[in-house]
C-alpha cells in the first residue's frame, strides 16, 4: 500500500511540475542558457541510472558482461551507429560474453 501511495504522490508532483512551466512563463521564451541546461538534464539522468544499475549494491556485484555491453553500445554510438543498432550491438556483446 505504501508503494502505491508513493507512486501517486510522485505522479502528482510530476504533473504539477510540468504544469508550472507554462503557468510561470506564459508566452515568454526561456533564456538560451536555460534551454541548454534543460537539454542536458535527460542524458545526465540516464547516465546516472545506468551507473546505478550496473553497480548493484555498493559495487560488490559488478557484472562485467553488462559493463562490456554498455561499452560496446557506447562505442557504436561514438561511431555514429543508429540508436537501435547500438543497443542491439550492446545486447549481443553482453549475451556472447555470458556464453563464454
Quote the pLDDT of residue 54. 84
- What residues does each domain of the chain span? 1-55, 63-100
| Rounded Cα distance, 54 and 71, in Å | 12
How far is Cα 58 from Cα 39, in angstroms, rounded to an integer?
Answer: 30
CA 75 to chain centre: 17
pLDDT at 30: 81
The Cα 81–Cα 78 span in angstroms is 7
Phi, psi of 42 (to 5 degrees): -60, -45
Distance CA 40, CA 38 (A): 5
- For the packed helices 64-78 and 83-99, what is the interaxial angle rounded to 10 degrees? 150
| pLDDT tens over the chain, length 100 residues | 888 999 999 999 999 988 888 888 788 888 899 889 988 999 999 988 888 888 767 777 788 899 999 999 999 999 999 999 999 999 999 999 999 9
pLDDT at 57: 73
Instruction: Give the whole-angstrom CA distance, residue 49 versus residue 85.
Output: 21
Amino acid at each position: 500500500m505504501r508503494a502505491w501511495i508513493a507512486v501517486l504522490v510522485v505522479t502528482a508532483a510530476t504533473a504539477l511540475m510540468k504544469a508550472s512551466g507554462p503557468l510561470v512563463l506564459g508566452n515568454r521564451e526561456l533564456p538560451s542558457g536555460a534551454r541548454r541546461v534543460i537539454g542536458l538534464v535527460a542524458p545526465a539522468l540516464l547516465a546516472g541510472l545506468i551507473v546505478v544499475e550496473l553497480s548493484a549494491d555498493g559495487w560488490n556485484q559488478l557484472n562485467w558482461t553488462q559493463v562490456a555491453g554498455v561499452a560496446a553500445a557506447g562505442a557504436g554510438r561514438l561511431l555514429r551507429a543508429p540508436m537501435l543498432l547500438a543497443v542491439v550491438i550492446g545486447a549481443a556483446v553482453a549475451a556472447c560474453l555470458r556464453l563464454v
